[in-house]
């Protein structure tokens, strides 16, 4: 089953990232030098709790549907995932802004953009939306994989240690908006043997991917 609450989680993540971006856009528009390490830190902080919530919600959906009790330790796993992934996203984001700022400084003075244009190019709102869609998909995949593996191994701790290798009985499903995607549509309905080499944790296969997996024998 798809992650039922994904729209709500996407919206929360998008709002949180967009709020950080607008702060830094305003600084650029005011002609100030932005601190990329502060941008990275603010993004990571904004994402951390929300990614943990998304991981938890998807994991609990599958755990609840399975009817199997004993997922008390899920929150620690969600937190570990969120800390690491929020750091990765924020680091990549700040690195891209750094590269684009460098390119901008290489431009001849007369070709340079206005500060308003620059702010929109470096920190556009569509990036907040892309992070929200992609990272909702990723957190849901990781949360559900952990629960599915725990249902196979009988333990969250063992499941976290063995990873997705034991989840051979997984099937890829495209979301409505991914049906025409050239990366995802060939995977639709196929089992992990076809795609796990490229995407061990399942979706996302690309930015803005809303695909999901189902697990054989589980809801």
Q: Give the interface with Zn ion as residue ranges (CB under 5 A).
A: 178, 184, 205, 209, 211
Identify the residue whose tokens are 């005011």: 30
Cβ 57 to Zn ion shortest distance, Å: 20
What is the DSSP secondary-structure string of 47-88? HHHHHHHHHHHHHHHHHHHHT----TTHHHHHHHHHHHHHHH
Residue 109 or 180: the one with the smaller Cβ distance to Zn ion is 180
Distance of CA 66 to the CA centre of its chain: 25
Cβ proximity to Zn ion: between 25 and 170 the closer is 170
Measured CA to CA in angstroms, residue 212 lies from 9, 52, 163, 209 at distances of 15, 18, 17, 9
By C-beta, is 102 or 126 nearer to Zn ion? 126
- The CB-of-187 to Zn ion minimum distance in angstroms stands at 8
Measured from the CB atom, the residue of 82 and 184 that comes closer to Zn ion is 184
Give min distance, CB of 33 to Zn ion, in A.
38
Nearer to Zn ion, 43 or 184 (CB): 184
- Report the alpha-carbon distance of residue 217 to residue 20 in Å, rounded: 42
Nearest approach in angstroms of CB 176 to Zn ion is 11
88 CA to centre of own chain: 10
Least gap, CB of 175 to Zn ion (angstroms): 7
Query: How far is residue 112's CA from residue 63's CA, in Å, rounded to a whole number?
Result: 54
Residue 63 or 211: the one with the smaller Cβ distance to Zn ion is 211
- Whether residue 204 is preceded by a cis peptide bond, meaning omega within 30 degrees of 0, is yes
How many H-runs (helices) and E-runs (strands) does the chain carry? 7, 2
Burial of 169 (C-beta count, 10 Å sphere; 0-12/13-18/19+): middle
CB of 195 to Zn ion, least distance (A): 11
């Amino acid at each position: 089953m798809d992650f039922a609450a994904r729209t709500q989680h996407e919206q929360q993540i998008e709002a949180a990232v967009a709020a950080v971006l607008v702060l830094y856009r305003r600084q650029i528009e005011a002609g100030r030098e932005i601190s990329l390490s502060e941008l990275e830190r603010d993004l990571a902080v904004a994402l951390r709790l929300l990614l943990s919530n998304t991981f938890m919600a998807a994991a609990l959906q599958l755990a609840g549907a399975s009817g199997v009790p004993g997922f008390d330790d899920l929150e620690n796993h969600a937190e570990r995932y969120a800390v690491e992934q929020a750091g990765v996203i924020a680091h990549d984001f700040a690195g891209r802004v750094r590269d684009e700022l460098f390119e901008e400084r290489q431009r001849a003075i007369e070709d340079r953009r206005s500060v308003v244009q620059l702010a929109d190019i470096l920190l556009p709102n569509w990036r907040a939306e892309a992070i929200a869609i992609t990272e909702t998909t990723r957190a849901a995949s990781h949360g559900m994989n952990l629960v599915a593996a725990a249902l196979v191994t009988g333990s969250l701790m063992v499941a976290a240690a063995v990873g997705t290798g034991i989840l051979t009985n997984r099937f890829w499903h495209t979301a409505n908006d991914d049906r025409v995607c050239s990366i995802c549509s060939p995977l639709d309905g196929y089992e992990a043997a076809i795609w796990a080499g490229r995407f061990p944790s399942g979706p996302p296969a690309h930015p803005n991917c809303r695909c999901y997996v189902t697990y054989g024998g589980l809801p």
